[in-house]
Structure 1
């Protein structure tokens, strides 16, 4: 039986990943702060990944075939994990993001246009400032990839994940469109919105499990075939009213940074097409929106509230 460690994974596709690994017979250890319970049937270790001493204590003498890091956002966090897991594993998979390409424009990007082996690292930036971290999300991921790539402590893979839709999405991005279109409110977009890459929530969980069991290293793009722009997304929901403005809706982009998934495909992963799963993802978001606006009064009567 293989043994894998998942850092984070308390919600969304991280939780599905843990359940998929467990159900496939993998011995799974989850490391997080304990803000949410881990799925049944796994070992749960509670520690703040930013606290290196606490992380080492909770890991004890454990070793793993693979570590999957769901919540590495900065080069500082990468450096802590690099030291803590050196000698404990031979393979490390970091969940990265399409946002590493957000500073670029053009056709679907291949992995080599952002090379973590040559990307500059600045650990002295204010990475512990939530506002700075939020504004520097893509840069934080690029630098985290760079820290892992430059050290030979273990084989390293960075999974550059497309925008995820479907499942128990806590981000509210797809719900934003459902609510506005159902209420007849305008969707704020760029004057010429550009396409981007997307992936279904169950598919990215399967991809991460596949990448953990494979033997390749380096960055790999994970995206369903096909792209969507904000108008495609809205058309799948209803009949939107658009308005051009600065405070644009999620997934409205003024530059193209879709991803080329050719490397992953050549390595053997079979992606779906966005058209295969978008209707079900939208339907799930619609049903969730309907449930969220139905409230129960003290008398037990249902009261329907208009979506915001």
Structure 2
């Protein structure tokens, strides 16, 4: 048994992660603003992680074997975590994102089309950090999501006084009504209603992971290994927007209608006009059992069909 602190964890991946930690016998402390109650057996600290002094006070004298930060989006939050958890944890895992590789959001090393991008392609140890940017502003933070994650990783890579690992999650599918993004629901609603799905002229494929597998990988990263640095979290097998719609068609039997967007125009979720598909060789080499997308995609579609009244996300990325 280990004592694990989860920051965030009140919805989607966080809920699954907390459930898995409890099921495997770990002692869990959940830190969030109290938007929903945790399952029985979880110690719940209701505090805004952005209030550093309040977070320090709420933690008191507690120490942890590992912290899993599901809610670190900016270098300011990362720097505060370094200060707050110094001397409190033996390991710190940050949930990061495939978006750190997105060439549309930063000048990154180019890779040939079709290359599975490895972790070292975006080495954030020397990445510039700007604490003076308006990271406190939600609109700015959302518009600069990828850069916020890069800079947060950079701060923790350079400044953490504890072993640090980042889990760069691929595009997440599955979970039915728990998937608050509504991205698969977007396709289900367009196909069932006969309305057009907006796609790029030459949609590029990317990598995906099931929500349950991501929760398993976060648990593994926190408890079962001593690795540090980034690890890509994705299943084997690329999907493009047509593969996703084909998986839905196979279960509902209606054909989709498409509309090609103009350059620069927003398309449907998971229609990409650039290549940044990650590789998962490091996770496999470290011992995590990687799945194949084709094995779980039909189930993820079935979950989305069951929860197709979920909110619809209007943009991709």
TM-score (norm: length of structure 1): 0.93
Give the structure 2 partner of residue 306 of structure 1: none
**Against the structure 1 CA distance between its residues 113 and 65, is the aligned structure 2 distance closer, same or farther, given a 3 Å change threshold?**
same
How far off its partner does 1:152 sit? 4.2
Give CA deviations for 1:127-178 in whole Å, capped at 9, x if unaligned.
Answer: 1111211111010000000000002410000000001000120111110001
Give CA deviations for 1:61-84 in whole Å, capped at 9, x if unaligned.
Answer: 000000000010000000111100
Counterpart Cα distance in 2 of 1:157 and 1:257: 21
How far off its partner does 1:41 sit? 0.9
Give CA deviations for 1:87-142 in whole Å, capped at 9, x if unaligned.
Answer: 00010000000000112564221001111101110011111111211111010000
**Against the structure 1 CA distance between its residues 292 and 205, is the aligned structure 2 distance closer, same or farther, given a 3 Å change threshold?**
closer
Give the structure 2 partner of residue 259 of structure 1: 278
Give the structure 2 partner of residue 298 of structure 1: none
How far off its partner does 1:204 sit? 0.4
- For the pair 1:221 / 2:232, whether they are aligned, the reply is yes
Counterpart Cα distance in 2 of 1:84 and 1:31: 13
Counterpart Cα distance in 2 of 1:284 and 1:136: 30
Give the structure 2 partner of residue 185 of structure 1: 195
Counterpart Cα distance in 1 of 2:158 and 2:133: 19
Counterpart Cα distance in 1 of 2:221 and 2:30: 18
- For the pair 1:158 / 2:166, whether they are aligned, the reply is yes
Q: Can you give the 5+ residue segments of structure 1 that lack an aligned partner in the other structure?
A: 294-308
Trace 1:1-308 onto structure 2 (pairs within 5 A): 1-103=1-103, 106=113, 107-167=115-175, 168-213=178-223, 214-238=225-249, 239-245=255-261, 246-289=265-308
SS class of match (1:157) = strand
Counterpart Cα distance in 1 of 2:232 and 2:258: 31
How far off its partner does 1:232 sit? 0.7
Counterpart Cα distance in 1 of 2:295 and 2:135: 39
Contact conserved, 1:158 with 1:220, CA < 8 A, in 2? yes
SS class of match (2:96) = strand
CA RMSD of aligned residues (A): 1.3
Following superposition, which runs of at least 4 residues in structure 1 exceed 2 angstroms of deviation? none
Give CA deviations for 1:16-51 in whole Å, capped at 9, x if unaligned.
Answer: 101100111100000001111112111000110110
Contact conserved, 1:194 with 1:229, CA < 8 A, in 2? yes
Contact conserved, 2:13 with 2:212, CA < 8 A, in 1? yes
SS class of match (1:237) = helix
Contact conserved, 1:108 with 1:256, CA < 8 A, in 2? no
How far off its partner does 1:2 sit? 1.1
Q: Can you give the 5+ residue segments of structure 2 that lack an aligned partner in the other structure?
A: 250-254, 312-317
Name which of structure 1's ranges 67-76 and 96-105 shifts more when overlaid on structure 2.
96-105
How far off its partner does 1:292 sit? 6.8
SS class of match (1:67) = strand
Counterpart Cα distance in 2 of 1:174 and 1:279: 12
Counterpart Cα distance in 2 of 1:123 and 1:196: 31
How far off its partner does 1:283 sit? 1.1
Counterpart Cα distance in 1 of 2:306 and 2:57: 44
Counterpart Cα distance in 1 of 2:244 and 2:273: 16
How far off its partner does 1:226 sit? 0.6
Matched residue count: 292
